């Protein structure tokens, strides 16, 4: 079974699980997963692992991420993005918001961001997020009309840059701004749009979202495959005709494997690595600790004479003996 990672440029209108299914179909393997869900509206970097490389995905999920987005100020929606229903302003507030939108300057927007939405902040996830409440996704509860109350969480905003402030839409009473955000795992860009609109007193929601980086993985890297979405019509078991979007990868199994990162390359882009001997590799594969000092999760790699890399394990420091490390994940011999 092949092992590796690949970056898919996810298209709009499909889920991250749809992309996983498309990769699984091309490779004809069951063990395929992704690191960091993208909503159907979002596009961009989706890191896909297959084979034993799926064990690296939990570490990639925690990497900081960069997004390019468009926020529409002057309106609110039920989902805080373009897929929700518009929440109309009360009549007594509508004209006031329009006046504020017309007068809104770039300096005021940037000051609100720098004062309230930078560094470590407390953020309440969207009611339509994938956060689970008693085993159920928040978005499922929200769609059922149930009240969703989510606890705030601490997230870190490394940068929140305004790229452009567009002219107001006089007919709609809105104004779009283009932004670029780098943030910690668990940050909801929809919630940033909502909160920025609230701080400015005009409301806001997300109309476009594109992820450009997940840690060291980016759209500019050589191991990126484009994907496209298309309509797919089918008949259900009970005879109903349905149409939904699906992912199409215009590639063969061989082409996908050629474009993928090997286990060694994937490990080096995911975490620190340490070179080990054949004897240390044997110890790790038997679950024994070795005399290597590491600061945190680290990939232990052997370099055979044929120059190929054997990723042996992911190791962490021993709690009692920091000069030694033990395996938390062990990979089979290459």
The residues annotated with a catalytic role in the active site are: 39
Report which of 53, 59, 27 is spatially closest to residue 265, judged by C-alpha positions.
53
Question: 258: phi > 0 → left, psi -120 to 50 → alpha, else beta; which?
Answer: alpha
Q: How far is CA 277 from CA 116, 143, 152, 292, in A?
A: 50, 55, 46, 11
Can you tell me the distance from the alpha carbon of 46 to that of 25, in angstroms, rounded to the nearest whole number? 17
The DSSP 8-state label assigned to residue 60 in this structure reads H
Q: Which token pair is 13? A: 């209108």
Answer whether 66's CB lies under 8 Å from 161's CB.
no
Can you tell me the distance from the alpha carbon of 125 to that of 37, in angstroms, rounded to the nearest whole number? 14
Q: How many CA atoms lie within 13 A of 61 on its CB side?
A: 13
If you write DSSP's letter for every residue of 206-265 in order, what string do you get? EEEEEEEEETTEETTSSSEEE-EEEEEEEE-TTS-EEEEEEEE----HHHHHHHSBPHHH
Beta strands in 28-152 (DSSP E): 32-35, 43-50, 65-73, 76-77, 86-87, 119-123, 132-133, 136-137
Report which of 194, 188, 199 is spatially closest to residue 80, judged by C-alpha positions.
194
Strand partners, 154: 122
Q: How many CA atoms lie within 13 A of 245 on its CB side?
A: 17
Q: Which token pair is 115? A: 């004062």
């Amino acid at each position: 079974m092949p092992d590796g990672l690949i970056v898919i440029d996810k298209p709009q209108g499909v889920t991250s699980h749809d992309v996983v299914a498309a990769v699984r179909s091309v490779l004809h393997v069951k063990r395929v997963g992704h690191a960091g869900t993208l909503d159907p509206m979002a596009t961009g970097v989706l890191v896909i692992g297959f084979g034993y490389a799926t064990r690296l995905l939990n570490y990639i999920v925690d990497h900081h991420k960069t997004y390019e987005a468009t926020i529409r100020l002057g309106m609110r929606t039920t989902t805080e993005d373009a897929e929700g229903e518009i929440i109309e302003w009360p009549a007594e507030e509508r004209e006031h918001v329009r006046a504020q939108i017309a007068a809104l300057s770039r300096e005021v927007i940037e000051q609100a961001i720098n004062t309230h939405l930078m560094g470590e902040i407390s953020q309440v996830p969207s009611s339509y997020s994938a956060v689970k409440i008693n085993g159920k996704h928040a978005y499922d509860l929200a769609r059922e009309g149930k009240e969703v109350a989510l606890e705030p969480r601490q997230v870190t905003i490394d940068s929140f840059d305004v790229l452009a402030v567009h002219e107001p839409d006089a007919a709609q009473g809105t104004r779009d701004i283009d932004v670029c955000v780098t943030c910690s795992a668990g940050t909801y860009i929809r919630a940033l749009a909502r909160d920025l609109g609230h701080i400015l007193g005009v409301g806001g929601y997300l109309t476009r979202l594109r992820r450009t980086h997940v840690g060291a993985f980016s759209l500019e890297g050589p191991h990126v495959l484009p994907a496209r979405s298309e309509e797919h019509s089918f008949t259900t078991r009970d005879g109903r005709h349905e149409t939904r979007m699906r992912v199409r990868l215009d590639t063969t199994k061989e082409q996908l494997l050629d474009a993928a990162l090997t286990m060694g390359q994937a490990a080096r882009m995911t975490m620190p690595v340490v070179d080990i001997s054949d004897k240390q590799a044997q110890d790790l594969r038997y679950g024994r600790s070795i005399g290597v000092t590491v600061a945190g999760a680290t990939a232990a790699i052997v370099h055979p004479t044929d120059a190929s890399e054997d990723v042996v394990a992911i190791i962490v420091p021993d709690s009692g003996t920091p000069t030694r490390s033990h395996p938390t994940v062990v990979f089979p011999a290459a």
